[in-house]
Structure 1
Amino acid sequence: MSKYLISFPSAAMDVPDGELEEVGRAAHAVVEAAKAAGVYVFAGGINESVPPALVAADGTVTEGGYPWAPTLNGGFTVLELPSREEAVAWAARMAQACRCAQELRVFQFDPQS
């Protein structure tokens, strides 16, 4: 089984006024279905009100992330699934709930983790 990251950037969600609560309920329903199916690892979103900190090997902290990297924000769901086909099906369910396309990535297994 592999772990799959299903995610979207904040800008991808273009929800009409008054419908965000409905989208939240739909997304939470997909998460609850994943839990019931025994494939849920974790889910959540980046708290965009808290800026990132870049921490160097010597412990030096610089406010902000890598200046050359795109902003990391949005929602993330990690599921453990037996196949890419099942991951695509779950990503489609999340896309329908969130009303935006989802990126699908597979984690490489690290046997020492």
Structure 2
Amino acid sequence: MSATVSPFNSGLQGGIPTSLDNRRVALVLLSGMESLGLKELRQHASDYVKRAEAGETMLITVAGRPSALLGPAGRKTWCAFDEVADIFRTDTDPTWETDRRLIDDPIADPWVSR
């Protein structure tokens, strides 16, 4: 007895996705999200991209097989300075003053002619 493989269950074993990508495809199919063919996407690409920007996720199919997901890109997440301030709080080098005294040249502006 062999399992039937259709465009919508390839990579699925007993209806259970076998990889992350297949789980995403299964989620799209089970959630009733829109599925559209590549030809339809090419003909109305700007409309579908606008819908994706608005937060909608669509399944792109090629020859009836799920091929890609079109959805919103991850948004930039801005952090308050307080959330990253620890990165900039470091102890100074305790030997810096000693090391600086070992350098013969005085500190000078390199752009000023001598």
With the shorter chain as reference, the TM-score category is under 0.3
Query: As a proportion of its length, which structure holds more helix?
Result: 2
Query: As a proportion of its length, which structure holds more strand?
Result: 1
TM-score, normalised to structure 1, is 0.25
Q: Looking at both structures, which has the greater relative contact order when contacts are Cα pairs under 8 Å and sequence separation is at least 6?
A: 1
TM-score, normalised to structure 2, is 0.25
Structure number, greater radius of gyration:
2
